[in-house]
């Protein structure tokens, strides 16, 4: 009888640990997928000719993927919508097919030509850093907390 009770307790403990593990995995996977709306504060940029021209080449809708092992619910697809108004860059970001919300974005020109680096914090505090590698192609990283950054690539799909 004691052996049966011990075996039953062991099985119940394993089932509980498995359920907790599943919940933790789902939480971590969906943590980068929220579309909550933060307050909208836009970062002003200077009106220098090169900077403005470069911002205008970025204007439009960008879609792509976060590269990682496995596929979370909702997928790894992401959308970034960039708009230039009065020498300011505005951005909305979210899960492709679900929706986008405003994010604060920084714009930095480094080197020669139009090769800007964009940085923003998602609605769930994930740091995204993207650089324009060539016309219509942004590449960078998606970093959630202390986890290793995941490669991220976006392609321009619309104006």
> What are the tens digits of pLDDT across the range 25-55?
334 444 444 443 444 444 444 436 888 999 9
Q: How do strand 99-103 and strand 105-109 relate by DSSP bridges?
A: unpaired
Mean pLDDT of 70-94: 84
Confidence of residue 4 (pLDDT cuts 50, 70, 90): very low
Say which DSSP state 55 is in. H
* Strand spans (E) along the chain: 60-66, 77-85, 88-95, 99-103, 105-109, 116-121, 126-134, 137-144, 150-158
CATH number, domain with residue 129: 2.40.128.20
The residue range of the domain holding 132 is 49-158
User: What is the reported pTM?
Assistant: 0.67
User: Within a domain: residue 99?
Assistant: yes
pLDDT at position 113 is 84
Confidence of residue 74 (pLDDT cuts 50, 70, 90): low
From residue 71, give the alpha-carbon distance in Å to each of 84, 96, 129. Answer: 33, 14, 22
Q: Please give the Cα distance from 28 to 72 (Å, whole number).
A: 9
User: Within a domain: residue 14?
Assistant: no
pLDDT at position 68 is 73
User: Within a domain: residue 56?
Assistant: yes
Percent of the chain at pLDDT above 90? 45
Percent of the chain at pLDDT above 70? 65
Sheet-wide strand order for 126-134: 99-103, 88-95, 77-85, 60-66, 150-158, 137-144, 126-134, 116-121, 105-109
Return the bridge partners of 131, or none.
117, 139
pLDDT at position 1 is 53
The count of domains in the chain is: 1
Mean pLDDT of the chain: 76
Q: Cα 69 to chain center, whole Å?
A: 16
pLDDT tens, position by position, 94-104: 999 999 999 99
pLDDT tens, position by position, 105-141: 999 997 778 899 999 999 888 999 999 999 999 999 9
User: Within a domain: residue 11?
Assistant: no
User: Within a domain: residue 27?
Assistant: no
């Amino acid at each position: 009888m004691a052996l049966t009770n011990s075996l039953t307790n062991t099985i119940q403990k394993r089932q509980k640990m498995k359920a907790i593990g599943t919940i933790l995995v789902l939480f971590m996977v969906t943590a980068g997928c929220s579309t909550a709306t933060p307050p909208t504060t836009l970062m002003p940029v200077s009106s220098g000719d090169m900077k403005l021209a470069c911002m205008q080449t970025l204007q439009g809708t960008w879609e792509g993927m976060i590269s990682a092992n496995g596929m979370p619910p909702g997928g790894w697809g992401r959308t970034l919508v960039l708009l230039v108004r009065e020498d300011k860059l505005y951005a909305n970001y979210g899960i492709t097919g679900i929706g986008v919300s405003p994010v604060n974005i920084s714009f930095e020109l480094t080197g020669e030509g139009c090769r800007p680096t964009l940085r923003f914090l998602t609605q769930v505090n994930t740091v995204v850093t993207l650089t324009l590698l060539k016309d219509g192609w942004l590449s960078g990283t998606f970093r959630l907390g202390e986890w290793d950054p995941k490669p991220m690539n976006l392609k321009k799909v619309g104006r």
